[in-house]
Amino acid sequence: MSNNEESEEKSQTETTDSRILHKHIHISKWMCVLFSIVVIVLVISIMVIIISVVGKQNEKLSKLSLAALETREPSLDVTHTVAEKSVYLSWNQYGSTVIKGMQFKGIDIDDDGSIYFADAGNDRVIRQRMNATRSEIVAGGNGFGNRANQLNSPTDVVVDKKKNSLIICDKKNQRVMRWSLQNATEQRIIISNINCNGLAIDQDGSIYVSDNDQAVVKRWNDGENIGEVVAGGNRVGDALDQLDQPSYVFVDHHYSVYVSDTNNNRVMKWAKNGKAGIVVAGGNAQGDNIGQLFLAKGVVVDHLGNVYVADSLNDRVVCWSEKTQESMIVVGGYGKGSDSHLLNGLDDIAFDREGNLYVVDIGNRRIQKFDRED
Ligand SMILES: *[C@@H]1O[C@H](CO)[C@@H](O)[C@H](O)[C@H]1NC(C)=O
Ligand SMILES: *[C@@H]1O[C@H](CO)[C@@H](O)[C@H](O)[C@H]1NC(C)=O
């Protein structure tokens, strides 16, 4: 073999080696691409899983913190009359018991923080002053009966600040009474023959009363003997001009009447001189979904038109936004029970000047206070 031949052979071997190497590199490249694709797919799947889990947790959280996530805007008008107040959008979900052991019904809170409530079981109205260790009887408490100084299963009470007196729905006596807060012997019947349920008073001192027999809410102007229909009055039913067991009533500055249309599981708003109402809460059949109510009871409206309603048998207070037409849970809604965050059948609700929420928790025979949280 010549030197030349030898070198030729060597070079041939080299070429084969380099081809194999080349092929190897080619395969590695493909493996690399494949590997990258697998990694990318994996990363994307993990991200999708994480996002969906976090999303679900957020959903749960938002259900828990409820009101807290809503826009923070000023203005909760917590009284039955005029006043523009700061608004608070979330409440501590754990309440404290203000008073217990009675058959509580309607409740009202004065500007000084005094809580007035009807104790239907004991035929009297009680006042619990702020920070006071004892509550006091301010109306009735003289056995049940129909004398002037007696009550028989009162269902609601409102404070008439201008006249320093209470207006009381004396249910089983079929009458509405005015009871002086300064003179214990001064009380009189202001409306007779009425199956009253709930009461409200407007800035002019006119009194609004719901009447179950006639499925109506009527207004009595100060000093007048005849009531004028302001909601319902078209027999029992669920049309927009009808009511079925109207209970609690609220009146805003524009004299619009809000009434808990209890058996229709909705709250109706009747504008002044309206011929029919509009549904402002519920009205989606009885149920416990968001957007549904199960017997509407106490109702309070803030000056933005947000409607707070005691969703009685769902054991929660809900708020319906006029702006978004959506509802959210304010307190309760965690099931029935007697722990501090649980409720067991609601009746009336009220707010004090600071925006703290008071709930008549009938099943637990107590009034729960839920502190406003900033
Ligand atoms: C009640 O107690 C609180 C806290 O001690 C106090 O800030 C408030 O002024 C008291 N209110 C009345 C009416 O006594
Ligand atoms: C309290 O009211 C009664 C009945 O209206 C009246 O006779 C009496 O004079 C009043 N007392 C005072 C101190 O105003």
pLDDT at 57: 45
Per residue in 191-215, pLDDT (tens digit) is 999 999 999 999 999 999 999 989 9
Go through the chain and tell me how many residues it has. 374
Cα angle 269, 275, 281 (rounded to 5 degrees) comes to 20
Q: Which of 18-22, 332-336, 368-372 has the lowest mean pLDDT?
A: 18-22
Cα(309) to ligand 1 centroid in Å equals 28
Residue 204, SS3 per DSSP: coil
Cα(155) to ligand 1 centroid in Å equals 29
Pair 98, 370: CB distance under 8 Å: no
Max CA separation in the chain (angstroms): 142
The residue whose CA is least distant from atom 13 of ligand 1 is 130
Instruction: Measure the CA–CA gap between 273 and 316, rounded to whole angstroms.
Output: 32
Mutate to test the pocket of ligand 1, among 131, 354, 371 (most ligand atoms within 8 A of CB): 131
The residue whose CA is least distant from atom 3 of ligand 1 is 131
Q: In what order do the strands lie in the sheet with 278-282?
A: 246-251, 257-261, 266-270, 278-282
pLDDT of 106 strictly over 70: yes
pLDDT of 53 strictly over 90: no
pLDDT at 65: 37
pLDDT of 240 strictly over 80: yes
pLDDT at 304: 85
Mean pLDDT of 102-126: 97
Structure tokens at 361: 């928790």
Instruction: Measure the CA–CA gap between 215 and 196, rounded to whole angstroms.
Output: 10
Mean pLDDT of 23-52: 67
For residue 184, the ligand 2 atom closest to its alpha carbon is 1
- Tell whether the torsion through CA atoms of 73, 74, 75 and 76 is positive or negative: positive
Instruction: Measure the CA–CA gap between 296 and 254, rounded to whole angstroms.
Output: 23
pLDDT at 42: 78
The residue whose CA is least distant from atom 13 of ligand 2 is 183
pLDDT at 32: 61
Give the dihedral of Cα atoms 165, 169, 175, 177; nearest 10 deg.
-10
Distance, C-alpha 270 to centroid of its chain: 20
Cα(183) to ligand 2 centroid in Å equals 6
How crowded is residue 334: how many other Cβ atoms within 10 Å of its Cβ? 16
pLDDT at 37: 72
pLDDT at 31: 73
The residue whose CA is least distant from atom 4 of ligand 2 is 186
pLDDT at 186: 95
pLDDT band at 66 (very low <50, low <70, confident <90, very high): very low
Cα(83) to ligand 1 centroid in Å equals 22
Amino acid at position 78, single letter? V
pLDDT at 200: 98
Pocket of ligand 1 contains residue 131 by CB under 6 Å: yes
Pocket of ligand 1 contains residue 41 by CB under 6 Å: no
Does the global pTM surpass 0.85?
no
Cα(248) to ligand 1 centroid in Å equals 30
Q: Which ligand is nearest to the CA of 187?
A: 2
Q: Identify the residues whose C-beta falls under 6 Å from ligand 2.
A: 183, 185-186
Percentage of the chain exceeding pLDDT 70: 80
Beta bridge partners of 316: 311, 332
Structure tokens at 228: 């004028």
Q: Tell me, what DSSP letter sits at residue 95?
A: -
The residue whose CA is least distant from atom 12 of ligand 2 is 183
Instruction: Measure the CA–CA gap between 245 and 313, rounded to whole angstroms.
Output: 15
Structure tokens at 77: 């008008």
Distance, C-alpha 204 to centroid of its chain: 27
Q: Which ligand is nearest to the CA of 110?
A: 1
Q: Which of 65-74, 159-168, 201-210, 359-368 has the lowest mean pLDDT?
A: 65-74
Residue matched to tokens 């408490």: 141
pLDDT at 70: 34
- Tell whether the torsion through CA atoms of 318, 285, 294 and 315 is positive or negative: negative
Instruction: Measure the CA–CA gap between 255 and 270, rounded to whole angstroms.
Output: 9
pLDDT at 64: 36
Phi, psi of 358 (to 5 degrees): -115, 130
What the chain holds in terms of domains, given with CATH numbers, is: 94-373 (2.120.10.30)
Average pLDDT, the chain: 85
Per residue in 127-158, pLDDT (tens digit) is 999 999 999 999 999 999 999 999 999 999 99
Structure tokens at 118: 């009807």
Pair 241, 231: CB distance under 8 Å: no
pLDDT of 165 strictly over 80: yes
The residue whose CA is least distant from atom 10 of ligand 1 is 131
Instruction: Measure the CA–CA gap between 101 and 153, rounded to whole angstroms.
Output: 16
Best-predicted range by mean pLDDT (38-52, 75-89, 347-361): 347-361
Pocket of ligand 1 contains residue 132 by CB under 6 Å: no
pLDDT of 78 strictly over 50: no
For residue 113, the ligand 1 atom closest to its alpha carbon is 13
Q: Which ligand is nearest to the CA of 133?
A: 1
Mean pLDDT of 21-34: 62
Q: What is each CA distance from 135 to 17, 87, 363, in whole angstroms?
A: 102, 29, 21
Residue 17, SS3 per DSSP: helix
pLDDT at 67: 37
